[in-house]
Structure 1
Amino acid sequence: MNTFKNIISVLVLTLGIQYVNGQNISIDETYTAQELVKDILINSSCANVFNVSVSGGNFASGEKSFGFFDGTGTSFPFQKGIILSTGKINNAPGPNSYLSDDGGSMGWNGDPDLNQALGLSNTFNATILEFDFVPLGTSISFDYIFSSEQYLSNPMSNQCNYTDGFAFLLKKNGEPNYENLAVVPGTSIPVKVNTVRGSGTICPPANETYFDAFNGTVHPTNYNGQTKVLTAQSNVIPGETYHIKLVIADEGNYRFDSAIFLGGGSFNFGIDLGDDRLIATGNPLCPGETLTVDATQTGATGYQWFLNGNQIPGAINATYSITSEGDYTVEIYFGTTTCSPPSQILKIEYAETLVVNEDTFTECDADTNQDGKTVFDLNAIKNQLFTNLPANYVVSFFETQTSTTALPTSYTNTTAFSQTIFARVTNIQGCYTDYPVNLTINTFTETITDETLGLCESNSLILDAGSGFTSYSWNTTPVQTTQQITVTTAGTYTVTLTNATNCTKDKTFTVDASGIATIDNININDFQDNNTATIEVSSTSLGDYEYSLDGINYQDSPIFYHLEAGEYTVFVQDKKGCGIVFETFYILDYPKYFTPNNDGYNDTWFIKNLDKRNLENSTITIFDRYGKLLKQLTGLGDGWNGTFNSQTLPATDYWFEIQLSNGKSVKGHFTLKR
């Protein structure tokens, strides 16, 4: 930064660049210490100031490290004020084109009080402005800006801890210790380069809310950066004598000058009227509440109260009772002079008188167990609870009036069917009691069962949702609202049922297109150890079918197993009730034995029902175990009686071959028993 600013300085001189004076602050070194304090810093007839002194650098040229500055017409935040520097103040005006680096090798010492306040031991080049004063009010405050060449925009890492020090030291006469008022707001941290610094360099930021900027060349001052306008303040006791010491110094060496700019007229002997009462801070006045404010000051001869800058008629006492919101101030007069130390502005707001709109909320139990517990949206309840809830009011809900744990936004009641919870305004204290909120949970206990029905071809179907409900709403177009509706097309029909407690459930009817079956074929696989019949239904049949061989016992499978030889009737029934069809079929098989003993039972061996299958032209050939042809039959014959050439054959096994007229051949053997 040094090199850059030196280059800029050379360019300015070499090229003759002219900076308009109005862009930069100007300084005046002719003011006395008394004038700087009474006429510039305080500028009030209420000031009781004495023992004013100032000291700084003893420059051979007669230049000073303190004086008056004028910022009128510039972008500098202060129009005028006092500057205290660790170098020559005539280097303070902008542009920021060279390094202000004064005070070396001239025996310019630091300050022990500053060392003690900041915990230092090595300060140099101290400039000090100090005076005694007697406050009329209960507080003092003044505004300032800290500027420094040590706010480097491109520092090396070892420069991050470079910092000059300053302090605003206050103590009541007779007390041994000072209080430093130049601290980061809300803390006890002294304001320095490394405690208030912005981001954007290799040095870590610190309290950057209070940092203004790193400066380029064009700036009203010749410093590399500065804080925002800060306020030093303290409570004081009216009538007591105080000493204040405003001091700034270099730390470690004389290098990289710094300065304090004190806002002209900003030193106020104010009256503290107490804390603001605001909704934002949670402490507004409650509806109808009166706040009495006491501004009594020793030696005061008169008072005048103001509301929003306007005089309040008749409000001329030390105390005033506030009954409406606004900004309050008071002027306090002393003796015959017009001295009136300004009071702070006391901001007053009133909490809203909340009007309950609705405090009972009903929900239906939304789950399946209907136990009287369900989820409530407490955000929605909050928005309906009051007719006039301000947007910045925070309302939370609690299970009891003593509970401190807020309920979640989605809250499931813990007491079945009915429960009272409590709404509480949590960001405003003391104005509201808890508001009871009644939760009611209704149920739908009626059992509702969905149904699946068949709609037979060319027919209509009545859907009946059941009686006993207060309303019905079907998902038809247009919506139908009757207990029963008639449908002529398949689909899903849903009806919303409302019971006497205004709770609802849905019942769904699934209507499938259906119809009576058409049997296309019965696929028979016989002459097997496991004879089967498979019922084949036409692909154009719409229904869901079941099958039976006795018309009583039905099965879903169209296949029947382990069928013995004989006549069967198969029944095909539509499960949706669209009708039954039936058809007869025959299972063929050969007898495993026969007993030709002329008892009239099983005396011949033959194949039954060949003609029923149109196989009567089949040829049956019988052999003995040696392959000798014994008999040849047709499907219409009487069978074989166990003889050959009228001779009775012995009991044993015999073999056969059936040449069916459909081209199929069946071979096997059977037993002749005597």
Structure 2
Amino acid sequence: MSKTLFPFFLLFFGFVKSQNITVDDTYTPAQLVQDVLVNNGCIQISNVSVSGGNFSNGENSFGYFNANGSALPFAEGVLLTTGKLSSAVGPNSNFSDDGTGMNWTGDSDLNTALGLSNTFNATVLEFDFISNTSQISFEYIFASEQYLSNPSPNQCSYTDGFAFLLKPVGGSSYQNLAVIPGTTTPVRVNTVRGNGTICPPANETYFDAFNTGNYPTSFDGQTKILTAEAAVTPGILYHIKLVIADEGNARYDSGIFLRAGSFIATKNLGPNRLIATGNPLCPSEILTVDATEIGATSYQWFENGIAIPGATNPTYTINHTGDFSVDITINANCTLTGSIQIEAAPTLNINQDLYVQCDTNFDGLDTFNLAAIQNTLFTSLPTGFQIAFFDSPTSTTPLATNFTTSIPYQQIIYARVTNIQNCYGNIPVTLKVNIFDKVFTTESVSLCSGNSITLSAPLGYTAYTWNTSPILNTSSILITAAGSYTVTITDANGCTNTKTFLVTSSEAATIIEVLVNDFEENLTAQIHVQGNGDYEYALDGGLFQTNPIFNLAEPGEYQITVNDRNGCGLSSISFFALSYPKFFTPNGDGFNERWRIENLDKKGLENSRIYIFDRYGKLLQQILASGDGWNGLYNGQMMPSSDYWFVMELTNGRTVKGHFSLKR
């Protein structure tokens, strides 16, 4: 271990000034116990002994100390160390590391109490006593050079041992009073340590500080003031042994500072009722404190150090915050003191216990932020109060901060103050989930080119917000362009839902052409259109169909109508389907007298040529498509009933061949 020495010139010019403790090792053991440590008439002391290091210069490892106006919390008292008493004197730039190589042994009772086997340099102060009351206590500070401010990792486990061992005289085993309050853990360097070094902190509440060079003792750190206490039987002879020793080796001294006059007989009035310890006085609770002590001749109660008039009974009733104490007179030489600190838990005023949210997936369930709810649950939550939420009054498992309800629409959970015992119980909190009353489907809308259209959201809601630029807040809007339009709809509960309109542009069709397979056995017409619409087709006023191909029963003139199913208009066109007659009857009755192909001129084919042959391939007649056709004569002679063939050379370059019948 190393310490930083202050430069001489600082000391010389007085820039650093501090007071150090003083020590005196000339006190007899009886004086240390009777006159310094005890010094009251409620405890009778006997059989005092002390042992420690046998230093060659006659110095002791125990004795009296005085704070000498320094920062040490105790004004005076008894000091037991594992080195020379004088080595404990500050400043902290000194290094207390005595007792090596002098055969200074440890202590077997300390080993047993702490489960050790390797203690050295034990200093022991022990005595017998009889108490007039049922409670004894004394105050102490543990200090050590092993509270290193800059340790290496292997030094984190270094720790000296000490114990305050108590048993009835003749008893078989000791009770160790030097423990962390509320536990059985012995107070040591590695069980009470602050943070700030590489060694892990432990029970920081009870650690005071790592000391700087101007501290009034030589020790590198110490605990806060701790109290050792025990219940005893009045009139019974007890033995107490105060022992401290180095562990592992004789290096790095430690010390126990015992406050002068602190070994007293006290009256235990029960645990303090504090918010910090979770047991304050609950609202409307009345606490009766009983100080009854056998042999007492009088009682006087105090509140905050001031005597309470008329409060002279063994019991006192408390219903509010304060520091209460009682003086119990046993005899002229013995007055006991008992004290209890009371804090009252405040009344918690509920600010809000109903929380409402809107569901977005229509199942009546939603996730609530319980941390945010905690902040608004009470009008004001006292500092240090810890709130948790549970799904039932008997549950012991807190709910997650982001809690998803499991009961649709409304669920009650329970808030509890978890660090205050038995004051508030379960506080019901209602989580309500509202849902929007309707599911909206996406609606497809057509907009005719050059026109406008009104998009209308469902009516009966409180607010509307469209995703337009600028944003519109009406239930309906007029649009002139295709696109996706979404309106956010808010209901009376503040819940929202959205409806989307997919607007597509549409227009009446432009008919490009009608393709007919003229002169085929099965006549068809296929309509070709152009336009940004959704079209259907009808032939000669018939039913509309989505297929643009029609079967034609016979040649002739037809009309096609094309309708935009989005309502943007109709388009129509007439066309001709061409075919040839399958027979003719030149019998003089005036009907079907000539074989002729009609309507060729409607398609600009009137100049086409037609050649007629008999069954043997003999050319009988050549005619123009625009002429009157064939009358069934060849060289003025009537041709017989039979099948005849033709070849038609169309002016569009196509050649059509077929046959027909002549019937008489």
Relative to the length of structure 2, the TM-score reads: 0.77
CA gap of 1:345–1:285, structure 2 versus 1, over 3 A, is closer
Among residues 161, 172, 178, which one is paired with 1:176 in the alignment?
172
Which among 501, 508, 518 is matched to residue 517 of structure 1? 508
Counterpart for residue 567 of structure 1: 557
Secondary structure of 2:560's counterpart equals strand
Q: Are positions 1:129 and 2:125 aligned together?
A: yes
What is the aligned partner in structure 2 of residue 142 from structure 1? 139
Q: What is the rounded CA distance, in whole Å, between the counterparts of 2:40 and 2:85 in structure 1?
A: 26
SS at match of 1:37: helix
Ranges in structure 2 where 5+ consecutive residues have no aligned partner: none
Cα pair distance change 1:595/1:46, threshold 3 Å: same
The answer on whether the counterparts of 1:455 and 1:511 sit within 8 Å (CA) in structure 2 is no
Alpha-carbon distance in 1 for matches of 2:405, 2:515: 65
Asked whether the equivalents of residues 514 and 574 of structure 1 are also in contact (C-alpha less than 8 Å), the reply is no
User: Equivalent of 1:257, from 253, 261, 275?
Assistant: 253
CA distance in 2, matches of 1:16, 1:448: 86
The answer to whether residue 326 in structure 2 is matched with residue 334 in structure 1 is no
CA–CA separation in structure 1 for the residues paired with 2:120 and 2:440: 92
- Within the candidate set 633, 645, 651, 1:659 is matched to 651
Contact 1:81 1:261 in 2 (8 A): yes
Match of 1:669 among 653, 657, 662: 657
Which residue does 1:33 correspond to in 2?
Answer: 29
Structure 2 counterparts to residues 365-380 of structure 1, below 5 A: 367-368=361-362, 373-375=364-366, 377=368, 379=370
The counterpart of 1:595, out of the listed 580, 583, 594, is 583
1:533 alignment partner AA: Q
Q: Percent of aligned pairs with the same residue?
A: 42
TM-superposition CA deviations, 1:425-448 (whole Å, max 9, x none): 353554456566778888877787
Provide the rounded CA distance (Å) in 2 between the counterparts of 1:388 and 1:192. Answer: 41
Match of 1:585 in 2: 574
Number of residues of Structure 1 aligned to a counterpart in Structure 2: 640
**Equivalent residue runs for 1:442-481 within 5 Å:** 451-453=443-445, 463=456, 465=458, 473-475=463-465, 479=473
Answer yes or no: is the 8 Å Cα contact 1:109–1:126 preserved in 2.
yes
SS at match of 1:343: strand
- Aligned partner of 2:184: which letter? S
Matched, 1:604 2:595: yes
How far apart are 1:247 and its partner, in Å? Answer: 1.0
Aligned to 2:49: 53
Counterpart secondary structure, 2:297: strand
Contact 2:275 2:343 in 1 (8 A): no
RMSD: 4.9
Distance 1:383 1:96 in 2: 48
User: Which of 600, 608, 615 matches 1:619?
Assistant: 608
Matching residue's letter, 2:658: F
Aligned to 2:312: 316
3-state SS of paired residue (1:345):
strand
> Over residues 364-410 of structure 1, what are the superposed CA-to-partner deviations in whole Å (9 max), with x where a residue is unaligned?
876547xxx544858487778766776736363545x5565666664
- Measured in 2, the distance between the counterparts of 1:87 and 1:560 equals 116
Letter in 1 for 2:340: I
Partner-residue secondary structure (3-state), 1:329: strand
Structure 1 488/209 Cα, relative in aligned 2: closer, same or farther at 3 Å?
closer
Bigger drift between 233-242 and 377-386 goes to 377-386
Structure 2 residue aligned with 1:554 = 544
Shift of 1:170: 1.3
Matched residue, 2:526: 533
Match in the other structure for 1:232: 228
CA distance in 2, matches of 1:389, 1:120: 48
Q: 1:362 to 1:257 in 2, by over 3 A?
A: closer
Q: Residues of 2 paired with 1:150 and 1:449: CA distance?
A: 73
Q: Map 1:280-319 to 2 at 5 A.
A: 280-319=276-315
Deviation readout 1:75-111 (Å, 9 max, x if unpaired): 5454443321222122223445565443345443332
Per mean C-alpha deviation after superposition, the further-off stretch among 455-464 and 171-180 is: 455-464
What 5-or-longer segments of structure 1 have no aligned partner? none
| Correspondence 1:466-505 to 2 at 5 A | 473-475=463-465, 479=473, 487=478, 492=485, 494=487, 496=489
Shift of 1:179: 0.9
Aligned to 1:345: 340
Within 5 Å, give how 1:89-100 maps onto structure 2. 89-97=85-93, 100=96
Partner SS, residue 289 of structure 1: coil
Structure-2 separation of matches of 1:26 and 1:583: 122
Superimposed CA distance per residue, residues 566-588 of structure 1 (whole angstroms, 9 cap, x where no aligned partner): 4332323343445x423123254
Structure 1 residues 101 and 560, CA gap change in structure 2 (3 angstroms): same
Give the 3 Å change call, closer, same or farther, for CA 459–217 of structure 1 in structure 2.
closer
Offset of residue 258 of structure 1: 2.9
Task: Tell me how far apart the structure 1 counterparts of residues 427 and 228 of structure 2 sit (CA, whole Å).
Answer: 44
